[in-house]
Each structure stands twice: as C-alpha cells, then as structure tokens.
Amino acid sequence: MTSTARLSRLLKVAAVFGLGFATALVAQTFTDSPQRVELKRADLSGAPGMEVIASTAEYKVGDSIERHVHHGVEVAYVLQGASIQVPGKDPATLAAGTTLLNLRDIRHGGFKVVGEVPLKLFTVHVVDKGQPLYDYTK
C-alpha cells in the first residue's frame, strides 16, 4: 500500500470516528441530564440488549430534575443531601445515605433543589441498550 493510500485510509477512519463521537455528544445533549457525568458503561452479561451505566450528578441550588422515566431500572444513592421542593408542596430534605429505586417506566423527579447546598447523587442504570437514558414526561 502506498503512503498516499495509507494516508487516505487513515483520514477516512478518523472522519468516521469523529462523526460517531460528535453524534454521541449531540444525542446526549438532547436526551440526557447535563449534570450527569458518566463513569462507566458495560453490557449486562447474560442479558442481551441491556447495559449498565454508572454515573454521578450534582444539582446546584436552583437546578431542577424534570419528571422522566427510564427504559429500565435506576438506583440512586444520595452522596450529599439537600432540600428539594416539588411544585405546590413544602420543601423536604433528601438526606445523605438515602437509596432510591426507580423501576422501568415509572415517572419520577419533578423537583427543584432549594436551600443552601447542592444535591449529589451516584446512580446505576440497568437499561435497554441504544435507548435514551431519559424520556422526559409531564
């Protein structure tokens, strides 16, 4: 293979990789929480079509977690508790150490972080591979 052919092939591979990476970033922007930082993603062994995603998220005072569902199960552990408020309700405390379990297609969220400290979560999602992590609902 000539050096020109190798360079051409390398440029094609780089372009395909770049396009895929850019598409993933755009897709995450529209279907994901901007506060979420993905730590690890892997296929769920023994369950074709499913994947496990571990993430952290920090919601600052004034941030909202919109009502949403997942295509699978979400487990969240509260790393740093905070005051939250659901519209029309009094503020409540979501304490550090609390574990939350949100089952497939069950609406949850729909609150704003209020008070003085941000809410920090560690989450694990076991979800359908290739589906958006969040589907926002009303």
Give the range of the structural domain holding residue 40, as residue numbers without chain letter: 34-136
What's the domain count of the chain? 2
Regarding predicted confidence, which is higher, 42 or 5?
Answer: 42
Give me the torsion for CA of 22, 39, 85, 100, rounded to 10°.
130
Nearest to 112 by CA among 76, 88, 137: 88
Q: The tokens of 76 are what?
A: 């969240």
Q: Helix/strand/coil (H, E, C) string of 97-122? A: CCEEEECCCCCECCEEEECCCCEEEE
Can you give the pLDDT at residue 32?
78
Q: Do 47 and 109 belong to one domain?
A: yes
* Percent of the chain whose predicted confidence (pLDDT) is above 70: 78
Instruction: Say yes or no: 1 and 64 in one domain.
Output: no
User: Residue 81 — pLDDT band, cuts 50, 70, 90?
Assistant: very high
Pair 13, 45 in one domain: no
Q: pTM for this structure? A: 0.76
